[in-house]
Amino acid sequence: MSAEFVLEMKNITKQYGENTVLSDVSLSVRPGEIHALLGENGAGKSTLMNVLFGMPVIHTTGGFQGQVLLDGQEVHVSSPHDAMTKGIGMVHQEFMLLPGFTVTENIKLNREITHRNFFSRLMGKNLETLNMNKMSSDARKALDSVGMSIDEYTRVEGMPVGYMQFVEIAREIDKTGVKLLVFDEPTAVLTESEATQLIKVMKAIAESGIAIIFITHRLDEVAAAADSITILRDGKLAATRNAKETTIVELAELMIGRKGEAMVHTDPREVPHDEVALRVRDLHVDMAGEEVNGVSFDVYKGEILGIGGLAGQGKLGIPNGIMSLYESSGDVELFGEKLKLNNAGDALRAGIAMVSEDRKGVGLLLDQSIEDNIVFNAMQIKGEYLYKFGPMTLKNSKAIRAQAEKMIKELDIRCFGPTQHSGTLSGGNQQKVCIARALVMGPRFLFVSEPTRGIDIGAKKLVLETLVKLNREQGMTIVMVSSELQELRSISDRIAIVSEGKLVDILSPDASDADFGLAMSGIKPSEHHEKGDGAQ
């Protein structure tokens, strides 16, 4: 126990096939410190933790390069269970509790204290009697140490979400020999006061000598809790900082960084703010994992508005809510006309089109041909590409074929022909089919949600260029939602940043990395600067 670091991960490199997701990352955690692990989505935080816990996904994809040292000894963690026996615990983002069991039973699950009885002597260990008194006193101790006054015989079912988080932590603490605890976004589901309480508990745990790795995107919490900080960016180590020697602004900058060159260059311009294309007031969307809690903004006619933010913060909820793919409420006006929510047909009929982020789930009929996909909405919503045959309204194959061929040429969809099934296309070409379907509708307003997710660079460029062309040549108002800040900056006129279901700020694409970083962690840059300036 005399080693300087309880955990050292040295030069970790991990590849999934051709894709390098971690490259030469090192992480060192001292005993009893809170070590924050920062990074955007896809920066490699979870992969690093998967390596630490020896998740099967790592072993089945060829393992990793580099060393993991616990207390100065090199170890090979073969499975999450192995990690547990070696003294590494995890507090999950989604609770792993059995709702019908009591707090004690959950805390002691699979580590029950038992004594032998007649049957167990006969039939084996599985029939031993539970020593409830001993178990509950243990649980009590663990609960006390996380500052929970809740009765240890309460059932988990029906407890407030915040309490479950603490029960989960208590379970990890109760394990004997825990040296290192990993908290994966523990505050994401907590209220502010609960989050404060949690940080207090974390500090108490750290004082007792257990090291903590604290994964989060909330910079203010990092500043409040962490002793040292490791920042990952694009699978690389961006920096390691001592909490006392850094500022939130620097952390934000390090987290965002400049990622290469912009793929598409647009000339900066002034979009007149005289006509509002889309007015959104107090929009709430009930989309699991992407809730929107009261967002208001205006989109001006002829502009490209980017919406950014980290995953799970609600940026995807905005287009999906307005297009009525999920239950939503609030006031939405399109070009001055009120838009009825919760009716997908109405939004389409009003002239909004959307290219969904969930291409395979919502975006495409995978078993049907490209041409049928392209004209589907126009046929169903606007009644185009149809002709009358007696009492029946049939699809007009000739017109459909002509339109499909035109679109295939315009958007450069690589395929064998318009009758190829869309499910057999590559991701980029599927995305182009989705865009084609939106365009065939002749929309006044276009939502593009994560248009470049999972497609190759060439296709990315073409998709972005197409969006710019539509905007410049046809004056189409576009709202683009994307996790790739660089993309948003390269083509948007303004960028709205969403955090925890709320709009934090609308920034100019030229704003500094630090501003974007702050906004993504939920801090309005202008206010922070004011505070910071005032303090100095």
Closer CB to another protein, residue 104 or residue 429? Answer: 429
Q: Report in angstroms how near the CB of residue 327 gets to another protein at its nearest.
A: 12
Closer CB to another protein, residue 157 or residue 367? Answer: 367
Closer CB to another protein, residue 38 or residue 355? Answer: 355
Alpha helices per DSSP H over 354-413 = 370-382, 397-410
Instruction: Name which of 321, 313, 256, 234 is nearest 284 in CA terms.
Output: 321
CA distances from 429 to 368, 411, 413 (A): 15, 9, 5
Q: Report in angstroms how near the CB of residue 40 gets to another protein at its nearest.
A: 28
Token look-up 């948003």 returns 488
Task: Give 315's DSSP letter.
Answer: T
Q: Report in angstroms how near the CB of residue 325 gets to another protein at its nearest.
A: 5
Closer CB to another protein, residue 118 or residue 389? Answer: 389
Closer CB to another protein, residue 233 or residue 437? Answer: 437
CA distances from 439 to 262, 357, 363, 459 (A): 25, 16, 14, 17
Pair 77, 53: CB distance under 8 Å: yes
Task: Give 330's DSSP letter.
Answer: E
Closer CB to another protein, residue 407 or residue 518? Answer: 407
3-class DSSP string for 184-237: ECCCCCCCHHHHHHHHHHHHHHHHCCCEEEEECCCHHHHHHHCCEEEEEECCEE
Q: Report in angstroms how near the CB of residue 418 gets to another protein at its nearest.
A: 16
Pair 367, 421: CB distance under 8 Å: yes
Q: Report in angstroms how near the CB of residue 342 gets to another protein at its nearest.
A: 11
Q: Is the dihedral of CA 158, 162, 168, 169 positive or negative?
A: negative
Closer CB to another protein, residue 366 or residue 468? Answer: 366
Closer CB to another protein, residue 256 or residue 434? Answer: 434
3-class DSSP string for 152-190: CCCECCCCCHHHHHHHHHHHHHHCCCCCEEEEECCCCCC
CA angle 223, 225, 229 (to 5 degrees): 65
Q: Report in angstroms how near the CB of residue 346 gets to another protein at its nearest.
A: 7
Q: Report in angstroms how near the CB of residue 348 gets to another protein at its nearest.
A: 6
Q: Report in angstroms how near the CB of residue 363 gets to another protein at its nearest.
A: 7
Q: Report in angstroms how near the CB of residue 413 gets to another protein at its nearest.
A: 19
96 is written with which tokens?
């792993």
Closer CB to another protein, residue 59 or residue 395? Answer: 395
Q: Residue 535 CA to chain centroid, in angstroms?
A: 33
**In the beta sheet, which residues pair with residue 129?**
115
Q: Report in angstroms how near the CB of residue 377 gets to another protein at its nearest.
A: 5
Q: Report in angstroms how near the CB of residue 441 gets to another protein at its nearest.
A: 10
**In the beta sheet, which residues pair with residue 19?**
16
Binding residues for another protein (CB under 8 A): 323, 325, 343-349, 354, 356, 361-368, 372, 376-377, 379-381, 383, 386, 389, 392-395, 421, 423-424
Pairing of strands 494-499, 304-308: parallel
CA distances from 455 to 451, 458, 461 (A): 9, 8, 10
- Taking the CB of residue 193, how many other CB atoms lie within 10 A of it? 9
Helix (H) / strand (E) containing 393: strand 392-395
Closer CB to another protein, residue 11 or residue 424? Answer: 424
Closer CB to another protein, residue 15 or residue 396? Answer: 396
